[in-house]
Amino acid sequence: MHKKKRAGKKPKAENNGGKKKKTSDAWEHFQVLANDVDHAKCIYCGTKIGCKSLNGTNGMKRHTERCKKAPFYKDKTQTILDFESRTQINTDGTVQTVSVPKLWRFNYDEIRKALAKMLIVDELPFAFVEREGFRQFCKVACLEFVTPSRATITKDCYGLFIEKRKELMNVFNNLSSRVCLTTDTWTSGQNLSYMCLTAHFIDDNRKLHKRIINFCPVAGHSGELIGKYVEKCLLEWNVKRVLTVTVDNASTNDLAIKYLKKIFNLWDGAAVKYVRSSPSRLQKFKSCVEEEKITSKGLVCLDVETRWNSTYLMLKSALVFRKAFKNMKTKFSPYTKELMKQPVGGAPDDEDWDKIQSFLPFLEIFYNATLKLSGSR
């Protein structure tokens, strides 16, 4: 009696011994062990590497790259002789381009750092490193270089920023000259406000530098707010020797400058205003002038806020009576106490007078130019 086959049931297909076809390129360099299916043997050196399906073939690929017996192995520490072009001047004065030998060695970290610099300099997106064309180029140009992911190159760029920031901060700490600041604020097309703060300075080699030390979003364009942002940035960079602050002619910047004057502890003529504020104070100042035997046809003049060139005249006249002001500071305590209440934080000292003396020739140039342009001279 024959058994009938059930309808709809198909016979099982052969699975060729139950083995699955290996799809990874790593299997071109390995053989599965007959007595240990969880390990494979390198066909070049015989090293055993785990090959469980759960672990993948990354370990086999790494070994293939490091296997010294593989025919395609390249020693990454080996120095390669390369040539670079240089221009030299011959004894007869002619200019000639020559090839100079240069040693090159594969350095993965240096290549990654150069890649981060390229993205920054050329203003490329971080996703550039994941584009197919760039990855294909790296495979052809340098097979040993493993292209980093977008997240990795982002960290590299930030690390490069921290490195350069430390270098610039070290420059500011050791800078013998003063720093001039320029700032600007604007609103983008997305209705977001931004502020840029640039530091200008001359190094010990008399070379002029310009460095953006802050570029950040701001909550608005109010003068005091801008002043606080500038103050915060200068504290972060430890910039103390500020010479000038240049802003545009927006009305809000007047408040910003007033705020920064308090921060920089600038002498805004408070000592001169004090001695000219009442007849008794002026008489006390005249007595100090007589004690110091200062001969001058006039006295100190006040600064006019609406005329910047009057600052030059005020400082020039005040410098003549430098000893008289020092005498008042020593013998007239109300003078010192009154100025201690001012934003300047006290009467001018020797350092303040030295600053005035060194700054006057600079102001004199603009003062004379103003007279010529206005026809006064």
Q: What's the rounded Cα separation, in Å, for the pair 203 and 144? A: 41
Residue 16 is predicted with a pLDDT of: 43
DSSP H helical ranges for the chain: 58-66, 108-121, 132-141, 150-173, 223-237, 252-264, 270-275, 279-291, 310-320, 322-331, 333-340, 350-374
- pLDDT tens across the length of the chain (377 residues): 444 444 444 334 334 444 555 667 778 788 888 888 888 889 888 888 888 877 778 888 888 877 877 766 666 555 555 566 667 777 776 777 766 666 667 788 888 999 999 999 999 999 999 999 999 998 888 877 888 889 999 999 999 999 999 999 999 988 888 899 998 888 888 888 888 999 999 988 889 999 999 988 888 777 788 888 888 888 888 887 888 888 887 777 777 877 777 666 555 567 777 777 778 888 888 888 888 888 877 777 777 766 767 788 888 888 888 888 888 888 777 777 777 766 556 778 888 888 888 888 988 898 888 888 877 65
Tell me the pLDDT tens digit for each residue of 278-310.
788 888 888 888 888 888 777 777 777 667 677
Residue 335 is predicted with a pLDDT of: 77
Which residues have CB under 8 Å from 308's CB, separation 6+? Answer: none
Contact status, residue 241 vs residue 173, Cβ threshold 8 Å: no
Q: What's the rounded Cα separation, in Å, for the pair 202 and 211? A: 11
Residue 9 is predicted with a pLDDT of: 41
Residue 162 is predicted with a pLDDT of: 93
Residue 89 is predicted with a pLDDT of: 73
- Listed by start position, the domains of the chain span 25-66, 81-166, 176-264, 270-374
Q: What's the rounded Cα separation, in Å, for the pair 274 and 342? A: 11
Residue 3 is predicted with a pLDDT of: 47
Residue 161 is predicted with a pLDDT of: 93
Residue 74 is predicted with a pLDDT of: 62
Contact status, residue 336 vs residue 329, Cβ threshold 8 Å: yes
Q: For residue 317, which phi and psi values (nearest 5 degrees)?
A: -70, -35
Query: CATH for 176-264?
Result: 3.30.420
Residue 282 is predicted with a pLDDT of: 82
Residue 157 is predicted with a pLDDT of: 94
Q: What's the rounded Cα separation, in Å, for the pair 175 and 159? A: 24
